[in-house]
Amino acid sequence: MDKKSIIGIVLIGILFFGFTIYSSRQQQKYQEELAAYQAAHPELTQPVVPDSSAVAAASVVESLGAATPDSTRLAREVAVLGDFLAAAKNAAPQEIVVENDVMKVRFSTGGGIVRSVTLKDYTRYGRQGERNEPIEMFVPESAKFDLSFFIKNGLNNVKVNTSEYTFTADPVVRTDTAQIVRMRLPVAEGAALEYRYVVYDEATPSRDYLVDYTVRLVGMAPYMANQSSIGIAWSNTSYRNERGFKNENMYTTVAYRVPGEGSIDDLSMSEGAKEEKISSSVEWIAFKQQFFSSVLIARDDFLYADVAYDTASPDSGLIKAFSATMAVPYTAQTEQYDFSFYFGPNKYAVLKKIDDAQGQSLLLDRLIPMGWGIIGWVSRWLVIPVFDFLRQYIPSFGWIILILAILIKIIVSPLTYKSYISQAKMRIIKPEIDALNAKYPKQDDAMKKQQEMMALYKKAGINPLGGCIPMLIQLPILIAMFRFFPSSIELRGQSLWWAHDLSSYDSILNLPFSIPFYGDHVSLFALLMALSTFGFSYMSYQQTASAQPQMAGMKFMMVYMMPVFMLCWFNDYSSGLCYYYLLFNLLTIAQTFLIRRMVDDGKIHAVMEANANKAKNKKKSKFQLRYEELMRQQEAQSRSGKKGTKRK
C-alpha cells in the first residue's frame, strides 16, 4: 500500500467519525425541540375528546388511544389536519337534488361539487341508435372540482384539497325565483370554507341554465398559510350524444376566452389527446360538445389555465375526457370568489344574452362555430334572424329551409343575372376570339394577342371577370350555410320525410362494411344533392365551354369529380345541410332556365355593337394611351432580345 492510499483511508475515517458526532448532536437537538413542542401541544400525545364539530370522528373510535389501524390513522390525521378537517375527511357524503323547468342538478357534499346535470328538454342517442335517454352533461363518477390551498398547523403548512373532504349542508332555501344550496367545510373553530350555489327558476333560459357559485372564506385569514393564489382543478368526461361519432368529435373541444378579446380560442379538433398552457388571464373555460357545453366563468378572471382533453374510443359511449387547472389570486384580505357555471345547449339566442358583472357580453355565443369575418357576419345578421323569424310562424323545418333557400336566391339573383349576361356576351364574341387565336398562333405573339383581346373585350363592353366575381360574392353565403346547419341545435331532433334528425345524417341503408372515404351507410339527401350538383355542373359546363374554350379541359373535374367528391364528403354531414344544398342546386337550375328564356342574345348583340360604335368616337384616356405604349415597348424589347439570341 503506497503513501497516497494510506492518506486517503485516514481522511475517509476522519470524515466518517466527524459525521457520526454531528448526526448524534442533531438528533439530540431534534428530540429536545420535539419534547418542547409536545409540552406546548399536549393534545398530540393524549386521546382527543371531540367536540360537537367532530361528531363524525367520534363515531369512528371512542378513544384515539385504541390500538387499531383506524385509530392510528385518525390520530395522525387529527395531528396533521386538526379536529375539524379530520372529521370532514371521514364523514359520509350525501346528495342534494335541485331542479327547475329546464334542468335537474344533483349536488354532492363529497367535495361540495355539482355531481351531475340532466337537461330536461333534450335527449341523446343510446347504444341502440334510438334517442330515448335524457342528456347528461357528464358522467357523474368523473365529475371533479377541487380547490387547493395551504393552512397553518404549528410549524408546518398543510395542503388542503377540497375534493378529499365532506362538506356539511344546510337545508335548501327556496325563493320565488331561485333555490339556494349552502355547504360548509369547517377548518377550525370559527373558520370555514363556504360554498353557495344558486339555481334560478325565472323562465328565462339565459338565467335558468346558469348556476351561480360563490366561495366564501369565513374567518379563514388567521389559518391560511402565506400564499399568493388558490388552485382550481376541474374535470369530467362527457357522454357521446349524437348519432355520428366522427362528426360530433369534430365539434368537441376545450374553448376559452382571454379578457378583452373579440373572439375565443380553442384546442381545435383531434382524434387523440391535446393540451395547452395559457399563461395569460382567462375569463371562462368551456368543455364544449357539438350541441352542449359546460362552462366555468370567473367573474374576476383566472390567473392562468392549463387545459386538455383526451378522445374516447368510438364504441365506448363517451366522447372526450376534459380537464382544466386554473388559479385565482389570494391575499389575507380575500373573503369571496364569484363564479358561474353554464350547463346547457349551444343555442345562439341563449348564449348571446349571458353577460359579465358590468353587463358586457361574455361572447359565449362564439362557442357556436359560425365562421370568421364576413362569413360570421352573414350567419349572425342574415341567416339566424331570418331562420328565427320563420320559426315563429312555420312549424315545419322542411318549409323553413325551402323558404330560406328561396330568399337567399332572390337576394343573389342580380349577381346571377349579371353572371349570365357576361357569359352570353362571351358566347357572342367567340368567333372573334377564335379569329384572334388563329391570327396569333405563336407564343411569341402572346402579348400582342392579349392586347387585341383586351381591346375586343373593351369594345364589346365585357369584363373578363364578370362571370366569376358574382359567384365569389355568393361564396360567403354558401359557406355560412355550411357552418350554420351542422351547429344549429334548432334542427336537432327535427324530422323531414325519411330523415329523423336534420342535425345528423339520414340513412336509408346501413352497409355491412365501410367504404373508404364514404362510410358504412347511404345518405339519400347526400345522394340527391350529389345528383343535383352533377346536373348543375353539366349545365354550367355546356354554357361556359362554348364561350371559353379553356374550360374544356376542366370537364372531368367539374362535371364528374365534383359530384363524387361532394357525395363522399357530405355522407356523414347534417341531412338539413344536404337538403339545403339540394334545394339551392334545383333553384339555380330553374333560375338559369328562366333567365335563358328572358334574355335574347340578339338584343345583347345589338347593344354590344352600339357600345362599340360609341367607343370608336370616344377619345382615349391618358392612362389607356400610356398602357398601350408600354405594351408596344415590351413587345419590341421581347422581339429584339430574341433576335440577338438567334444571331449568337
CA distance 521 to 615: 60
Q: Where in the chain is the domain with CATH 2.70.98.90?
A: 92-369
Element (H, E) at 558: none
Residue among 456, 286, 305 at smallest CA distance from 363: 286
The tens digit of pLDDT for each residue in 362-413 reads: 999 999 988 777 888 888 888 888 888 998 889 888 999 999 889 888 887 8
The tens digit of pLDDT for each residue in 206-244 reads: 888 999 999 999 999 999 999 999 999 999 999 999 888
The tens digit of pLDDT for each residue in 335-353 reads: 999 999 999 999 998 999 9
CA distance 228 to 207: 33
pLDDT at residue 614 greater than cutoff 70: no
Give me the sheet containing 156-161, strands edge to edge: 156-161, 144-153, 229-239, 318-329, 304-311, 273-278
Residues 6+ apart with CB under 8 A from 250: 269, 290
Q: What is the pLDDT of residue 42?
A: 47
pLDDT at residue 191 greater than cutoff 90: yes
The fraction of the chain above a pLDDT of 90, given in percent, is: 37
Architecture of domain 92-369: Distorted Sandwich (2.70)
Whether the model clears a pTM of 0.85, i.e. scores above it, the answer is no
pLDDT at residue 199 greater than cutoff 80: yes
Written as nine digits, the cell of 69 is: 389501524
Could you give the angle at which helices 69-81 and 83-90 cross, rounded to 10 degrees?
Answer: 130
**pLDDT tier for residue 38 given thresholds of 50, 70 and 90:** very low
Residue among 395, 371, 619 at smallest CA distance from 490: 395
For 345, phi then psi, to 5°, come to: -80, 155
pLDDT at residue 118 greater than cutoff 80: yes
